[in-house]
Structure 1
């Protein structure tokens, strides 16, 4: 959501009730902005489970295989040293670095894929200019209705938000270009 209508609520229960009722009334592009995680918000917004773990798994496997391969190449193939009669390809000795390479590659690619999926960093959104939006990091709960929805009507959205107990309703628009 970049532009649309924002309804401001004082507590999370009122916000959750408003989201459920807006969904029941046919609004599909509903978003919530809260100062802390609210239990039940994912279900109210019908958010699917993240696929990030499935997307990162190949990079984790690649990190594990790559870490083991580098150790094998250095110790058993390229520069073999027989110290104390141990085997050159000693898998138990390779476990710590193999594990750490798996964790490192998973975390790096997890952050990069997470940025891509959330379209970050975005330094500006029209929502940021909406009056009162800065309070969402302190003590306000906002419900946003996207104005790109085909059946969106500003007047109807404002009436619905006020009827559901919104303290106030503001419009988020793009800046006017000079």
Structure 2
């Protein structure tokens, strides 16, 4: 009995080979693709089906909520809870509220951005199936990897292996499911 597979992973020496293999895989109909590289490769995002990030919107929402919360907190304290009439000045003097509201806006934006990044990346994840491949440690040094996951509808162990070998992969590794 063969162990359950996470997918097949092809190893390339150069990013051009990886990008060409990812393009060919998309044209062949594979959709469940992952790439692991030691440097950013700009052409890979659209090929892997990256939908883009919602993190800027989430960061803006956090900043707006933080600033609004800061303004409300100061207004409530000065106007409702602890009113002090100083020289006939208005109780809700917004220029005095701007700096603390700005700081709370930054704090809210950072909090939402970090939380959103952790959730979007499914972190902390202490183990991933690709770590079981011995040569995967080279992904942080000088090798480029393309993984076609077994949950892809087009995935077939023999056909996918032949496809990856035909793309010029130096090695094709089976990634066991953990």
TM-score (norm 1): 0.89
Gaps of at least 5 residues in structure 1 are none
Cα deviations by residue, 1:21-79 (Å, 9 ceiling, x for unpaired): 11111111111111121121112223122122333443332212110011112223322
Aligned length: 174
Q: 1:84 to 1:132 in 2, by over 3 A?
A: farther
Cα deviations by residue, 1:75-99 (Å, 9 ceiling, x for unpaired): 2332233445532211111111111
- Give the match for residue 117 of structure 1: 120
Distance (whole Å) between structure 1 residues aligned to residue 133 and residue 42 of structure 2: 26
8 A contact 1:5–1:172 mirrored in 2: yes
8 A contact 1:131–1:170 mirrored in 2: no
Equivalence map 1:11-26=2 (5 Å): 11-26=14-29
8 A contact 1:8–1:169 mirrored in 2: yes
- Give the match for residue 109 of structure 2: 106
- Give the match for residue 67 of structure 1: 70
- Give the match for residue 160 of structure 1: 163
- Give the match for residue 136 of structure 1: 139
Distance (whole Å) between structure 1 residues aligned to residue 89 and residue 141 of structure 2: 61
Distance (whole Å) between structure 2 residues aligned to residue 109 and residue 8 of structure 1: 36
Distance (whole Å) between structure 2 residues aligned to residue 83 and residue 40 of structure 1: 62
8 A contact 1:5–1:147 mirrored in 2: yes
Distance (whole Å) between structure 2 residues aligned to residue 148 and residue 39 of structure 1: 25
Gaps of at least 5 residues in structure 2 are none
- Provide the aligned C-alpha RMSD in A: 1.8
8 A contact 1:115–1:121 mirrored in 2: yes
TM-score (norm 2): 0.89
